[in-house]
């Protein structure tokens, strides 16, 4: 059974989908640790509720990026993490960590990469840009993490229709449902070696 490290920055609804997936037995793994780069991320509370170790590693306790990177690597090693899932994690991983976990780190992104991805495109900003540009479709992408921002190999994508009634918030809600499903499916494959 694979040990999963989940990195978050916010509310943790993708994390909750992963917790539910492991508890139901859909994902053949266990969440070994949840780490947030934001101290007040609600996702940490979600983890604690399920007695999953929940830690904060950010500018508040590690002002220097090199020290934060080293601590992150140390914690993942201490918890014997096999695979890493970025579930709304708004920070860049160190090249060393990416190299250590090559092809074992996945990320979910709320657009059809390469559209609306890379630096500056995250969260509601993605959906605002999609609406502003009057796109017919948006969607979600799960991809491997490499040294670039949202540039790793695409594993799966799914389209979501954008209607004239959509606001950034309603589009975010539609895309999030797809994110949850794709992330659980992909994490399952990652844990069974089927990616």
Would you say 79 and 60 are in contact if contact means Cβ atoms under 8 Å apart?
A: no
Would you say 112 and 139 are in contact if contact means Cβ atoms under 8 Å apart?
A: yes
Pair of tokens at residue 128: 């605002």
* d(C-alpha 84, C-alpha 145), whole Å: 10
**Known active-site residue 127:** no
Long-range Cβ pairs for the range 97-104 (8 Å, 24+): 97/69, 97/72, 97/73, 98/145, 98/146, 98/147, 100/73, 101/76, 103/144, 103/195, 104/190
Q: Is 90 helix (H, G, I), strand (E, B) or coil?
A: coil
* d(C-alpha 12, C-alpha 191), whole Å: 20
- End-to-end distance of the chain based on CA atoms, in angstroms? 16
Q: Which of 79, 109, 127, 180 is catalytic?
A: 109
Catalytic residues: 109
């Amino acid at each position: 059974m694979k040990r999963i490290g989940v990195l978050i920055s916010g509310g943790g609804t993708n994390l909750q989908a992963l917790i539910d997936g492991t508890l139901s037995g859909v994902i053949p793994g266990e969440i070994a640790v949840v780490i947030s780069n934001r101290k007040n991320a609600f996702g940490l509370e979600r983890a604690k509720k399920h007695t999953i170790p929940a830690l904060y590693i950010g500018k508040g306790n590690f002002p220097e990026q090199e020290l934060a990177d080293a601590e992150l690597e140390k914690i993942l090693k201490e918890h014997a993490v096999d695979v890493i899932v970025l579930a709304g994690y708004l920070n860049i991983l160190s090249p060393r960590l990416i190299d250590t976990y090559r092809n074992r780190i996945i990320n979910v992104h709320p657009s059809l990469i390469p559209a609306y991805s890379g630096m500056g495109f995250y969260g509601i900003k993605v959906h605002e840009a999609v609406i502003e540009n009057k796109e017919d479709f948006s969607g979600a992408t799960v991809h491997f993490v490499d040294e670039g921002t949202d540039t790793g190999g695409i594993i799966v994508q799914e389209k979501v229709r954008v209607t004239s009634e959509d606001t950034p918030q309603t589009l975010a809600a539609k895309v999030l449902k797809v994110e949850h499903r794709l992330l659980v499916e992909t994490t399952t494959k990652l844990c069974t070696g089927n990616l």
